[in-house]
Amino acid sequence: MSKILEITKFKNPILRQKAVDIKKLSTDIEVLIDDMIETLNDSGGVGLAAPQIDKGVRLIIVKHKDKDLVLLNPEITKKSWKKNSDEEGCLSLPGVNGFVRRHSKVTVKAKNRNFKDVEITGRGLLARIFQHEIDHLNGVLFVDRAHKITEGKDLLD
């Protein structure tokens, strides 16, 4: 049975650490994947990175067309020159929203949950989620990149 995990919040130092690669599949990782999917579904969010549930490994779950994309060791291999700005929030920063400029299109290379190589190109919202979640694996939060905080600025002090 998978379980809903507690989401780490803004001041938790794990959100500022660089997560480590997953070398191979293990029962622990498989359980973690299922628990993260459960946690993301419960949260109503569109993406979740392992540091957000207090695990310093390179694993993200991204909602795409009612599917859960499971990406291990994701890396952006291509990005569009074109960028666009849109409003973002984060499960680790409840009540905070802001506009962030991101590449409009990115290609991500990763391992899927069977540890097979996959490559996915995302545009628009999907590209934005990829960049937001991969940032989490490098200790970067959207508020670091935001050019305008629209809500919850006081919560960042």
Window of 57-65, 82-90, 97-105, 146-154 that interacts with Zn ion by CB under 5 A: 82-90
**Cα distance between residue 110 and residue 62, in whole Å:** 13
Residue 113 tokens read as: 């949950």
Give the active site residue among 6, 38, 88, 133. 133
Mark the segment that binds Zn ion (CB under 5 A) among 19-27, 68-76, 86-94, 107-115: 86-94
Does position 57 interact with Zn ion (CB under 5 A)? The reply is no
Contacts for 138 with CB less than 8 Å, ≥ 6 apart: 18, 19
User: Stretches 4-12, 32-40, 85-93, 101-109: which one binds Zn ion (CB under 5 A)?
Assistant: 85-93
Q: Does 134 bind Zn ion (CB under 5 A)?
A: no
Nearest to 26 by CA among 51, 55, 46: 55
| Residue with Cβ nearer Zn ion (110 or 133) | 133
Residue 76 Cβ, how far from Zn ion at the closest point, in Å?
16
97-103 and 83-88 strand pairing: antiparallel
Number of helices (H), then strands (E), in the chain: 3, 8
Spatial distance between the Cα atoms of 109 and 105, rounded to a whole number of angstroms:
14
Give catalytic status of residue 133 as yes or no: yes
Does 53 contact Zn ion by CB under 5 A? no
Q: Which of 90, 127, 129, 146 binds Zn ion (CB under 5 A)?
A: 90
* Alpha carbons 99 and 146: distance in angstroms, whole number: 5
Count, residues near Zn ion per rule CB under 5 A = 1
Residues that are catalytic: 133
Q: Which residues in this chain contact Zn ion in the complex, by CB under 5 A?
A: 90
